[in-house]
């Protein structure tokens, strides 16, 4: 990991406490949406199509069909917070968010503006409207680090640094009713230190962190309590000095997959992650930790999720002092840990969210060459704060990579054309943007410390939706990092009556294929083509306008349009004599 300015610097350990969304997002499906970037390439002299990608039915890919559709990158109006959102969970249409913040305000309102309210480290909003859920209003006296829900959605559990909720003692864990919004005062758990990860079954709440006792009983980083009441259970596996930053129950509930900065479980090898019996705490086989190794003082596994079939996760590594070899996303069999996909994409990844065939992630990716996507810049000036990839393998990694990590030959995903633009915030001092994810088949929500999304002021929380629910307003742009001059349109006489028109290409945050229409003399359309572009691949195009009257004067412009009608005009060429 590098800091946001590309320099090496110590990382506040608190960032890893984000380990968010530890409840399975089982049963999610992707609706039929406009897969705008998969439109066929047509027209004169069009750029050649890429090699056919496998397509997915469920999670199985069939050669020849287009990649799956994502949500739009359009930021939907959402209530905002003034700090950082570490973790979110979705129950029905309500998103419960926790982190470190003191105030919340409506969308479009600046800090201190009309409608701002106190919101002390805990907040709820509607994922379909972005509106505040006023019936859920509580105050934590310390930041929340993780929030999860019971399988039936009747409760949400919050863990973190706090010791009171609404002035009532709560030892780093609290439970709330989702039907009434009330604090469950009968749920009494006292943990000796910060709770950083949680997972819930119908009967049991599992806790992770770096604590030493729970309800007065000795526990080393892992514990289980009754989901109702909070009585300490005998389940007591042990970690070493490393923290448990993430956990998720396997779909069959037989085992708990845990991740973090630890190197052992019950004294046995478990470098950064491992599998434990959900009933006894015994260590079970977990093959992934033999390939993906991220643990120690400056590396670890940051998130774990399930889609009801596989387990997905992410990692970080603070170079050059870290003890890891991974910063991207991965998928694994929940019973064996056999890797189904591993994406060697440089730049720490903080959370993942599998939604049908799409795996969303947040972090600060800056070099994904090893999975066939965007390269690094030199000097480093570009970080992609959110990505979408296929859950299924479509290719293999190349390697060794720039750090010497070698995932060559391992199954990898396709990085999908979904690139929302979020600048880093300043609240944590870590120059990061998004830290957490939640969502369903229609909406995703990102939480963090970003001040804006795609240039629209929107602090800390944002929603995005499938294109069947929103008007896609994110259009083509020339803007990239590193910055470049706007490409000019040039017209050159190449023969009597023939003019060659050269023009630059643009890109779009959520549509890979754009249409380029060439206009002569502001009156006559003379050429059209579709070209696939991205922020790192912007090939110049050329077209020859023939059959003109020799000696006549002409000029040209190019209209660049995405599949939703959003338009960008090129500069006008100089006048040329045919």
Of 211, 133, 134, 204, whose CA–CA distance to 171 is shortest?
A: 211
Residue 282: strand, helix, or coil: coil
Please state the CATH superfamily assignment of the domain spanning residues 490-577 in this structure.
Answer: Immunoglobulins (2.60.40.10)
429-443 residue pLDDT tens: 999 999 999 999 999
pLDDT at position 57 over 50: no
For 537-576, the pLDDT digits (tens) are: 999 999 999 999 999 999 999 999 999 999 999 999 999 9
Q: What is the mean pLDDT of residues 189-214?
A: 98
pLDDT at 63: 45
Which has the closest alpha carbon to 15: 314, 458, 288? 314
What integer pLDDT is reported at residue 147 of this predicted model? 98
Outline which parts of the chain fall under CATH 2.130.10.10. 13-25+61-465
Contact 80, 109 (CB under 8 A): yes
Whether residue 226 is predicted with pLDDT greater than 90 in this model: the reply is yes
Distance CA 245, CA 247 (A): 7
> Can you tell me the distance from the alpha carbon of 178 to that of 198, in angstroms, rounded to the nearest whole number?
17
Single pTM value for the model: 0.90
Contact present, 196 and 159 (Cβ < 8 Å): yes
pLDDT range class, residue 323, cuts 50, 70, 90: confident
H helical segments located in 11-129: none
Q: Does domain 13-25+61-465 have CATH number 2.130.10.10?
A: yes
Q: What is the dihedral of CA 46, 47, 51, 57, to 10 degrees?
A: -60
How far is Cα 189 from Cα 104, in angstroms, rounded to an integer? 28
**140 vs 143: CA distance, rounded Å:** 7
Which of 317, 318, 314 has its CA nearest to residue 329? 314
263: nearest Cα among 281, 249, 243, 282: 243
CATH 2.60.40.10 placement within the chain: 490-577
Residues with Cβ within 8 Å of 51's Cβ and at least 6 positions away in sequence, in order, are none
Give 332-390 pLDDT, tens digit per residue. Answer: 999 999 999 999 999 999 999 999 999 999 999 999 999 999 999 999 999 999 999 99
Tell me the pLDDT tens digit for each residue of 121-161: 999 999 999 999 999 999 999 999 999 999 999 999 999 99
């Amino acid at each position: 990991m590098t800091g946001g300015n590309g320099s090496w610097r110590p990382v506040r350990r608190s960032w890893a406490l984000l380990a968010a969304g530890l409840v399975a997002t089982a049963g999610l499906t992707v609706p039929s949406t406009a897969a705008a970037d998969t439109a066929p390439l047509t027209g004169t002299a069009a750029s050649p199509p890429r090699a056919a990608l496998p397509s997915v039915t469920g999670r199985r890919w069939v050669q020849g069909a287009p990649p799956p559709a994502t949500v739009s990158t359009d930021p939907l109006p959402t209530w905002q917070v003034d700090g950082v959102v570490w973790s979110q969970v979705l129950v029905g249409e309500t998103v419960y968010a926790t982190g470190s913040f003191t105030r919340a305000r409506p969308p479009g309102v600046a800090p201190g503006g009309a409608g701002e309210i106190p919101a002390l480290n805990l907040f709820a909003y509607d994922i379909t409207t972005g509106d505040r859920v006023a019936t859920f209003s509580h105050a934590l006296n310390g930041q929340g680090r993780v929030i999860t829900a019971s399988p039936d959605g009747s409760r949400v559990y919050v863990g973190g640094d706090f010791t009171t909720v609404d002035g009532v003692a709560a030892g780093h864990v609290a439970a709330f009713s989702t039907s009434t919004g009330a604090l469950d005062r009968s749920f009494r758990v006292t943990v000796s230190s910060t709770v950083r990860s949680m997972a819930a079954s119908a009967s049991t709440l599992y806790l992770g962190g770096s604590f030493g006792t729970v309800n007065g009983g000795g526990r080393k980083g892992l514990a289980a309590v009754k989901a109702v009441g909070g009585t300490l259970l005998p389940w007591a596996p042990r970690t070493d000095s490393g923290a448990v930053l993430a956990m998720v129950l396997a779909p069959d509930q037989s085992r708990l997959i845990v991740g973090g900065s630890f190197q052992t479980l019950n004294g046995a090898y478990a470098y950064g992650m491992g599998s434990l019996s959900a009933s006894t705490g015994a260590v079970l086989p977990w093959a992934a930790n033999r390939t993906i190794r991220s643990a120690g003082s400056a590396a670890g596994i940051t998130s774990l999720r399930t889609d009801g079939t596989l387990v997905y996760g992410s990692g970080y590594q603070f170079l050059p002092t870290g003890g890891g070899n991974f910063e991207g996303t991965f998928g694994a069999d929940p019973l064996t840990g056999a890797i189904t996909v591993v994406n060697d994409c440089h730049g720490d990844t903080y959370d993942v969210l599998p939604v049908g065939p799409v795996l969303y992630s947040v972090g600060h990716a800056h070099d994904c060459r090893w999975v066939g996507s965007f390269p690094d810049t030199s000097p480093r000036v570009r970080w992609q704060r959110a990505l979408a990839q296929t859950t299924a393998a479509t290719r293999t990694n190349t390697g060794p990579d720039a750090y010497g990590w070698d995932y060559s030959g391992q199954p990898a995903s396709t990085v999908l054309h979904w690139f929302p633009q979020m600048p880093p915030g300043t609240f944590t001092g870590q120059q990061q943007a998004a830290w957490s994810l939640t969502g369903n088949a229609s909406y995703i929500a990102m939480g963090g410390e970003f001040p804006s999304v795609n240039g629209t002021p929107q602090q800390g929380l944002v929603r995005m939706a499938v294109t069947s629910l929103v008007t896609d307003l994110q259009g083509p742009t020339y803007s990239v990092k590193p910055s470049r001059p706007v490409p000019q349109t040039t017209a050159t006489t190449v023969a009597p009556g023939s003019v060659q028109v050269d023009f630059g290409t643009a890109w779009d945050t959520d549509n890979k294929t754009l249409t380029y229409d060439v206009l002569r003399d502001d009156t006559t359309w003379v050429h059209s083509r579709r070209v696939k572009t991205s922020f790192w691949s912007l090939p110049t195009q050329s077209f020859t306008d023939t059959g003109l009257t020799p000696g006549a004067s002409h000029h040209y412009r190019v209209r660049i349009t995405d599949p939703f009608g959003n338009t960008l005009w090129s500069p006008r060429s100089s006048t040329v004599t045919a």
